[in-house]
Amino acid sequence: MRYRFGQGITDFLICNQCGVYMGAQIQTPRGGFGIINVNALQPAPAGLAPAVPMEYGAESKEQRMGRREQRWSRASGP
């Protein structure tokens, strides 16, 4: 299932069966970008760095898209 939060610019991918956040996709002027929640993979990949809390609540839509273009992977498809 796809869900859009606050700014409505990103499709968050939620499992229809268990409700786990699986990843997200965004379309920007530079193309599609995506990210996957590797903590939801079973078995979990070895050697993952520990999670670090982040706060992005003060970002504008433009800042958020720019950060995601820099940090997320190129994606294609729906």
Q: How many domains does the chain contain in total? A: 1
CA distance from start to end of the chain: 12
Report the DSSP beta bridge partners of residue 2.
13
Q: Tell me if the pTM is above 0.75.
A: yes
DSSP 8-state code for residue 21: E
In tens, the pLDDT along 17-57 reads: 999 999 999 999 999 999 999 888 888 788 888 888 999 99
Domain that holds residue 32: 2-75
Neighbours of 22 (CB within 10 A): 15
